[in-house]
Amino acid sequence: MTEAATVTGCLTKMAVEPGSPARYTLRAGEARVDLNARLGHPLRLTWTGAIACTQCGRATRKSFGQGHCYPCFKKLAQCDTCIMKPELCHFFQGTCREPEWGERHCFQPHVVYLANASGLKVGITRLTQVPTRWLDQGAVQALPILEVDSRQQSGFVEVLFKDEVSDRTNWRAMLKGETRELDLAGERDRLLERLAPGLAELRQRFGDGAIRVLDEAPRAFDYPVLEYPRKVVSHNFDKSPEVTGTLLGIKGQYLILDSGVINLRKFTGYEVAVEA
C-alpha cells in the first residue's frame, strides 16, 4: 500500500472486497490508496491531460469502451457489441474477433441474478465475478437464481427476464442510499413461475442441464459511507480536470465527496494525480 501523500498513475476500476463495510482500494498505475482509511479526509484528484490505452498502452486523445484506444476498441472481442448483448454472440458464425479469448471468457459458467441497487433488476456475470459484480454496481442485495454454461445462454435468459424486470440501475438513486429492502427470494419464485414456458424452450434448445436453478440465500452488502448526498451532482474530468472535496463514502465504482460524486470506472486509462 502506497503511503505517499501524492501518487500519479493511470486509473483502473477500484478494487473492492466484501466486508462490513466493503473495502475499497483506488488503483492509479502501480500506486494503491486505501480509500476506507481516507473517509472523512480531504481528497484531490487531478487529471494530467494524458490517457493511455489499458490494452496496448499507447497514448490516446479519447477513451473508448472504458479505457481503450480506437484501434483496440475496434479489434478486441471484449469491446464487441455481444459483450453488452450476449444473445448477439456470433462465435459459431466464425466471425468472433478473438476466438481464443471468446473460448476462455464466454464459454464458462455464467450466473443470472437478481439485485437491488436502486430497485429490482436482473443481470448476468461470470461465476468467477461473484460477488465483485454486485459490489461494482452498488447493490445492497443480490441473489443468484440460475447458472448456465455460456455467456450467450445467459444473454438469452436475461432477454427473457427483461420482459418482466429492468436490467438497469438508477445510479442517482443508488448513490442517495434510499434503496428499500426487497424480498428477492419471493421475486425469484414469482419470476421463475411466470417465465417457466420460456425457460423450457431454452432448455429444449440447449439441453435440459444447460440452465440450472440455484437454491441460494440472498446476500446483503454494506458500503463505507459516512453521509449520502441529498442531491447527486457528478464530476467529469473532461469538463474540469480537478476534483476535490472531503471523501464521504464509496459505493459501486463511485467516490462520494462533499462537492459531488465521480464514477472512477468511467475514466479508466486517465492519468491522475491523487492527493490524500
pLDDT at 276: 87
- Give how many domains the chain has, as a whole number: 2
Clarify whether residues 215 and 129 are in a common domain.
yes
Cα 110 off chain centre by: 15
What pLDDT is attached to residue 95? 97
* Strand locations in the chain (E): 6-17, 23-28, 31-34, 42-51, 110-116, 120-126, 141-148, 211-213, 219-220, 242-251, 254-257, 260-263, 270-275
Q: For strand 6-17 and strand 42-51, is the pairing parallel, antiparallel, or unpaired?
A: unpaired
Contact 113, 123 (CB under 8 A): yes
Asked if the structure places residue 207 within a domain, the reply is yes
Q: Domain for residue 124, yes or no?
A: yes
Q: Are residues 159 and 248 in the same domain?
A: no
| One domain, residues 117 and 209 | yes
* 40/13 same-domain check: yes
For residues 222 and 135, what is the distance between their CA atoms, to the nearest angstrom?
A: 9
For residue 47 the three cell numbers come to 487529471
Clarify whether residues 157 and 141 are in a common domain. Answer: yes
User: Which residue range is the domain that position 159 belongs to?
Assistant: 109-220
pLDDT at 2: 42
Instruction: Note whether 164 and 246 are same-domain residues.
Output: no
* Within-domain flag for 182: yes
Q: What's the half-sphere exposure (Cβ side, CA atoms, 13 Å) at 209?
A: 0
In tens digits, what is the pLDDT along the chain, a chain of 276 residues?
444 479 999 999 999 999 999 999 999 999 999 999 999 999 999 999 999 999 999 999 999 998 999 999 999 999 999 999 999 999 999 999 999 999 999 999 999 999 999 999 999 999 999 999 999 999 999 999 999 999 999 999 999 999 999 999 999 999 999 999 999 999 999 999 999 999 999 999 999 899 999 999 999 999 999 999 999 999 999 999 999 999 999 999 999 999 999 999 999 999 999 998
Q: Looking at the domain assignment, is residue 78 inside a domain?
A: no
Yes or no: say if 91 and 74 are a contact pair by the CB < 8 Å rule: no
Are 248 and 234 part of one and the same domain?
Answer: yes
If you search the block for the grid coordinates 474530468, which residue do you land on?
A: 237
Answer yes or no: is 202 within a domain.
Answer: yes
Residue 271 lies in a domain: yes
Q: What is the pTM of this model?
A: 0.94
Are 255 and 181 within one domain? no
Residues 78, 99 contacting (CB under 8 angstroms) = no
- Quick one: 179 and 251 in the same domain? no
